[in-house]
Structure 1
């Protein structure tokens, strides 16, 4: 059997650093250090290693300082922009990463990466190796041969002799000749002005080389001959510049290029610093065999022993295993417990597969556990406790006493963390790789339900969850104390966990008939809009296709203001809004898109999400997602139903109360401006709110210098835009764009605003300084909102961070206040044994399903608790509405 030739892969590291940097534009760790290029480069390197498994591999970089080409031609690469500031510190990290994979990171002073690659490729191809150059650089196509190919992993394309022939009209030695004539603007290789690549290919196909071409100029006609006569020496110079050196003495032997096992310890440390937690888990250094004592509870005796241990413990950690990520549809498969690190138990209750062992009766086990789980005085720990509370409630147990949720604790103690999942926290805080779900249940199409996982495998996985959660709680508790988040955690966020679980349990009722009727109306509207758009365009096309829409608008109709992207004409909202000022077709396309999105997201989708058992929709309220502490909702997202469009308001008509009840909606009025008045201690704003004035009218008076009765509707609109623009860090450019005025006028408005409200300007600047000093800002209750990129070298990221520094304290304080209000209202409803249920929280609004007999009492109760959630320097004002559906109530 013939031995297969060894395979050498040579990665053009310098090229891929830039490609990775521009492919992933916004990524940093919690310290604000840019990591986008490192992350992109790592994935590219892993892609090559995993998909091609080369025997030998090297990553090649340009050395610092000028190459020999600079001596030949001082203007070589002179037009290259300076390396982006936030990329500079990532270069050493990338080289450290390559070395941690036990791969050579090669560079050679005075030469470029391409020269090193050419040398290694020619040398080892001559020795019988199959060489693959991993790059997208056309210069390296001159190295291609029978044994050398080029692979562009970004485009997933391979270049061999045939591809060189197709592009350059001959063998790889013609690449240099063509480039000598055509030049290369990216490297500032001059070539011959006016000769592009296609013309160069024709000339070299006819004359073979640049030297032959210049020697036979009498065979060239017209202006081409004149250009070649004038710039012939420049073409020869260009040829020297583009010709790669393949004879360097590198001192890198065959064995040095062999791939080996990565340095897992170095990779673990590096990925930890970069906060690439999934990669960190994948390459965790072998921690040796742990002495974990994980047991399956399969008998009554074992259950008795476990319950005794749980009763004796001062605190217990628990976790559920189920059949679904949707808590309201998940069946309980098992439950695990831990009371001290390294020791945990798993009680399998619902594993069913061929040969599954006999398990304890589920109902009997739960009855035995009920006193412990429902004891409010037995402290309990969980990760994402809300899920477990709902699962166990479906199983008939109302868990009480859950006083530590590790996910919520991480969210407060480490707000800049990219994830608060258990696996990531275990990697970061415990230096531990946890068993991923895919290892026990598979992934993708081959994934099985946890109920089908073998009990033996399930025990280790499930018990580890309870054990690690306990250990994380032990790590996170002092972190909460150090970051001064303990009070917020225990008095706001943890009480809220149970409240959100109750709201998800209650769900909200929707009328599928209303949604169905609205969906049909939208379909008719879309059909009418489609006909109108096609008529305006003079042709039919797929309005849902950005590509076809762009071609119609900018090629067929020739509309101005078009801009091309890599994939075609841009037809995003911003582009269409500009076009809509002058062209009806753009306005209609925008309208079509808006209605189509609402139809797909809500009127068509919501009926399918009605729970088959409850007849209600059970959204998930997310407590650990936003940077400001605001709640979000998902599956479905009920916070994004627009209130300003007719269609959005119609969708709210489908949200209805239980039979005989009404919906009550209570909404904070201008809460963010009230918070600004309080935090900035601005007299003008405080006085205005104290008097119950129209704040936007008052702002218009201040800016435009007119009496209240003289303020026009347009002036009030502009003042409103400015009021909220200030909150969101809006500058003159954005304000001008929003108001449709010139930048100078917008700046004048901003200057006038801050002249009249100087304490606001001081407050905003103080928040920027706070962010620069601490990398976070604080809310009213001391919540830390992370601003890691406030010192970013990238001006766009830094500007975005500065806007967040002024906005987060306001938005975060609003989140604090409504959470306190939810806790206050919930406690009062329980204390007074009312049947009213809080069913939705949307931004600054709470929605309740209220029996008519309780309406007056609940209206007063909700208004009082919301308006007195905190004491501010200005009054909080709550507007309460009641109706037969959400639209009427709002």
Structure 2
């Protein structure tokens, strides 16, 4: 007969392991949740993977234990519990209780003692016991029917494994009595480590037998130590020996695994904002599935078209063969007009036995007037993608009135995801069918065109239905959070503009890039030769392991830092080394150039669209905390502008024949916004006078006339000017300028003495963040700062710097978006052919016909400088050229 399986989970051990495994996780109210999340995931892994018959979770008690009484220094070297872990422990115990599992602890004893007692009782009653822990002390209770499981390492310890390390479970306490345990401050015998202790116990069998035969110990120093510290060894044995006969009101045979309290778990996961866990908990869908129909004949199509025509607004979604909207083929369309009812219109399902589908051209011709009618409102999740798919299929989209993804980004800025599945879990308590459930994942993933129409209908129609429900849920949230104006007047129109820019793309000179790639290769070989000469050996410069061995073992360079996998060779380490040895600077140059080559000169030509001959980056609207746009596939915002290599890469971006590129860039926009938002009169006056702001700041801070400011003074002032926006500390400024911390603090104090309102602004931002858990931009955008009250000083400091920076950087993001929309309106009203092709931070890039260059110079500067009213002038630098580098 198979023995029942009891799993005893060492809760205290796993709390710490979860805390350090997952850092800086918190909910939108700033409550740290990393340990709670990690512990919950570990618990779920045990329950799902091993399906035990019985489970108990065991914790250390709060007060001192009997070990502390017999040895006051026991665990005395343990650091205090991290401040942000303390409030998580009661919640972890709530999670355990919500799983309907016993959370056991006993005053005066440790979790290990309770586990040892339960394991012995369970084994005696005919159960197999698995102790889930990473604590080696528990190896002493291992037996034929008791084993340890370290889920973090996926390692099981039975009698064989314990014998390999200690000689057997019965010898664990004997070895530890001699070797001690530094983590628990168990003293042991000085000079004897675990390896030596095992050898001695292997020979003598036990501590007492060893102490009775000290005359046989040949090494004089070891014999003397054992004689001198014999009582300390006996004390250590008492400390490490687990108590396995406690009186407990728990019968292991009655610890059967119950059903969890799903409502309690749901509430806890909601409080902690564990949306993925909420979805998993839901399992079966928590709401009634809607009425979803496939449209496979003309009668059904007629009914759908009429229903959409009569609607004030409808929700739609596209299904495609891929994730690139400019390359993927349209497979089907889904529609919803009211919650709980939706249609799926398959157009391109191709598999053996697929039903006959309506003629693609017929369907698109019938739908085209509906999509093009601005009087019928359209709702779509990530509408930019769908608009590009429709456009590629020959349809024009007008009347977009809502996108839940963008609405969530504005109304719920602290949310970690604005994807439909995550929002459905959090806002609707609903778990939609996932894409992986339909198409699989990894090597077994199939195209949506291969999905059976019946299954595709459930998935696609549900997407339209849930998107509509989310729109209904999020619309009032925009009003509640005062984000309506920003949504309807900025972000939603911007989404349409970004779709136009992605559709247009930008042209590159592939031949130029190929030549540049060869140049970079030659330069990389030259750098390698120089590195090899200095190192005195050849090796793979791109291998961190080999590089670390060469720098710190062969060359014996200072300031090495060991990690679990070898020597650290990160940027910080190499930058410090570069101050003392040129090889580190060469390695940094090699890394930088290699990255540029791989990311741009080699990769960009492969991304040219075969139909358009241009590159089409994706502009991401809902990623950054401040509202700034980012770009991906490829990322065109990270091409360095201040390096020669970066400028050479920008040379490859060119206009069509007969056209030019025009670049318009805001000058020192964040400093100007800071001056306005802080109402710093002196700084505003400097900008109004058109002075060199860094030279003027240097004059103010160092107390000299502007004419007396040296290049070094100006460099320091520039570092302070920009550093203040990011909440720079004296330590950070000292590191950046290569000066002492005291000197850096003097600079910062001088800056705030001259510009006192900037300090007041910074303090105001932090206070606002503490009160609201967010800060706001000039347009009222909310930038979440959930960790502002974190008990972890590093996390809190980072949040405070963000509280200072976000209003300024976010206002700059708002400004560039307003400017983009203003320019677009002027282009349309003036019927100009010029087109916006790129947005990079504070810069806009246009492709301009030669005969529109002067018109565009004036138009773009005017619209950008008037985009928002400030107490000081905005300045835009405009350049024109035959490539991006020349224009900038």
Offset at 1:45? 2.2
Counterpart of 2:127 in structure 1 is: 129
456-465 or 792-801, larger mean C-alpha shift: 456-465
Q: SS state of the match for residue 734, structure 2?
A: helix
Distance between the aligned counterparts of 1:104 and 1:440, measured in 2?
Answer: 38
Counterpart of 1:205 in structure 2 is: 202
Counterpart of 1:708 in structure 2 is: 706
**Alpha-carbon spacing, 1:609–1:155, altered in 2? closer, same or farther (3 Å):** same
Query: Please, which of 77, 80, 83 is the counterpart of residue 78 of structure 2?
Result: 80
Counterpart of 1:476 in structure 2 is: 474
Distance between the aligned counterparts of 2:145 and 2:344, measured in 1?
Answer: 57
Counterpart of 2:332 in structure 1 is: 334
519-528 or 634-643, larger mean C-alpha shift: 519-528
Contact 1:264 1:285 in 2 (8 A): no
Counterpart of 1:361 in structure 2 is: 359
Query: Please, which of 296, 299, 307 is the counterpart of residue 298 of structure 1?
Result: 296
Distance between the aligned counterparts of 2:325 and 2:858, measured in 1?
Answer: 34
Counterpart of 1:834 in structure 2 is: 832
Q: Deviations over 1:505-540 (max 9, x none)?
A: 001111111111111111111112112212211122
Contact 2:285 2:432 in 1 (8 A): no
Distance between the aligned counterparts of 2:711 and 2:455, measured in 1?
Answer: 68
Counterpart of 1:196 in structure 2 is: 193
Counterpart of 1:417 in structure 2 is: 415
Q: SS state of the match for residue 616, structure 1?
A: coil
Distance between the aligned counterparts of 1:819 and 1:710, measured in 2?
Answer: 40
Counterpart of 2:33 in structure 1 is: 35
Question: Quick check: 1:272 aligned with 2:270?
Answer: yes
Query: Please, which of 434, 437, 440 is the counterpart of residue 438 of structure 2?
Result: 440
RMSD: 1.4
Query: Please, which of 864, 867, 873 is the counterpart of residue 866 of structure 1?
Result: 864
Contact 1:337 1:463 in 2 (8 A): yes
Distance between the aligned counterparts of 2:317 and 2:619, measured in 1?
Answer: 20
Offset at 1:745? 0.3
Q: Which runs of 5+ in 1 are unaligned?
A: none
User: Within 5 A, what are the aligned runs for 1:274-289?
Assistant: 274-284=272-282
Offset at 1:294? 1.4
Counterpart of 2:851 in structure 1 is: 853
Q: Deviations over 1:146-203 (max 9, x none)?
A: 22222222222222223222222x2211110111111112112122222222222222
Contact 1:150 1:159 in 2 (8 A): yes
Offset at 1:6? 2.9
**Alpha-carbon spacing, 1:249–1:286, altered in 2? closer, same or farther (3 Å):** farther
Distance between the aligned counterparts of 1:16 and 1:191, measured in 2?
Answer: 26
Question: Quick check: 1:216 aligned with 2:213?
Answer: yes
Distance between the aligned counterparts of 1:448 and 1:613, measured in 2?
Answer: 25
**Alpha-carbon spacing, 1:761–1:577, altered in 2? closer, same or farther (3 Å):** same
Distance between the aligned counterparts of 2:574 and 2:410, measured in 1?
Answer: 40
Question: Quick check: 1:106 aligned with 2:104?
Answer: yes
Counterpart of 2:2 in structure 1 is: 4
TM-score w.r.t. structure 1 length? 0.98
User: Within 5 A, what are the aligned runs for 1:88-237?
Assistant: 88-168=86-166, 170-220=167-217, 221-237=219-235
Question: Quick check: 1:376 aligned with 2:374?
Answer: yes
Counterpart of 2:791 in structure 1 is: 793
Contact 1:59 1:104 in 2 (8 A): yes
Counterpart of 2:243 in structure 1 is: 245
Offset at 1:11? 1.9
Distance between the aligned counterparts of 1:539 and 1:789, measured in 2?
Answer: 48
Question: Quick check: 1:818 aligned with 2:837?
Answer: no
Query: Please, which of 547, 550, 553 is the counterpart of residue 551 of structure 2?
Result: 553
Offset at 1:808? 0.3
TM-score w.r.t. structure 2 length? 0.98
Distance between the aligned counterparts of 1:151 and 1:286, measured in 2?
Answer: 31
Contact 2:334 2:344 in 1 (8 A): yes
User: Within 5 A, what are the aligned runs for 1:272-671?
Assistant: 272-284=270-282, 290=288, 292-671=290-669
Offset at 1:368? 1.1
Q: SS state of the match for residue 326, structure 2?
A: helix
Distance between the aligned counterparts of 2:809 and 2:127, measured in 1?
Answer: 61
301-310 or 675-684, larger mean C-alpha shift: 301-310
Q: SS state of the match for residue 249, structure 1?
A: coil
Q: SS state of the match for residue 879, structure 2?
A: strand
Distance between the aligned counterparts of 1:43 and 1:615, measured in 2?
Answer: 47
Question: Quick check: 1:684 aligned with 2:655?
Answer: no
Distance between the aligned counterparts of 1:623 and 1:886, measured in 2?
Answer: 23
Offset at 1:289? 6.1
Contact 2:121 2:252 in 1 (8 A): no
**Alpha-carbon spacing, 1:492–1:159, altered in 2? closer, same or farther (3 Å):** same
Counterpart of 2:765 in structure 1 is: 767
Offset at 1:79? 1.8
34-43 or 689-698, larger mean C-alpha shift: 34-43
Distance between the aligned counterparts of 1:266 and 1:493, measured in 2?
Answer: 38
Contact 1:265 1:284 in 2 (8 A): no
Q: Deviations over 1:524-564 (max 9, x none)?
A: 11112112212211122221111221111111111111111
Aligned length: 887
**Alpha-carbon spacing, 1:147–1:729, altered in 2? closer, same or farther (3 Å):** same
Question: Quick check: 1:262 aligned with 2:260?
Answer: yes
Contact 2:661 2:881 in 1 (8 A): yes
Distance between the aligned counterparts of 1:35 and 1:447, measured in 2?
Answer: 34
Distance between the aligned counterparts of 2:583 and 2:487, measured in 1?
Answer: 52
Contact 1:265 1:285 in 2 (8 A): no
536-545 or 265-274, larger mean C-alpha shift: 265-274
Contact 2:835 2:848 in 1 (8 A): yes
Contact 2:513 2:601 in 1 (8 A): yes
Q: Which runs of 5+ in 2 are unaligned?
A: none
140-149 or 709-718, larger mean C-alpha shift: 140-149
Offset at 1:100? 2.7
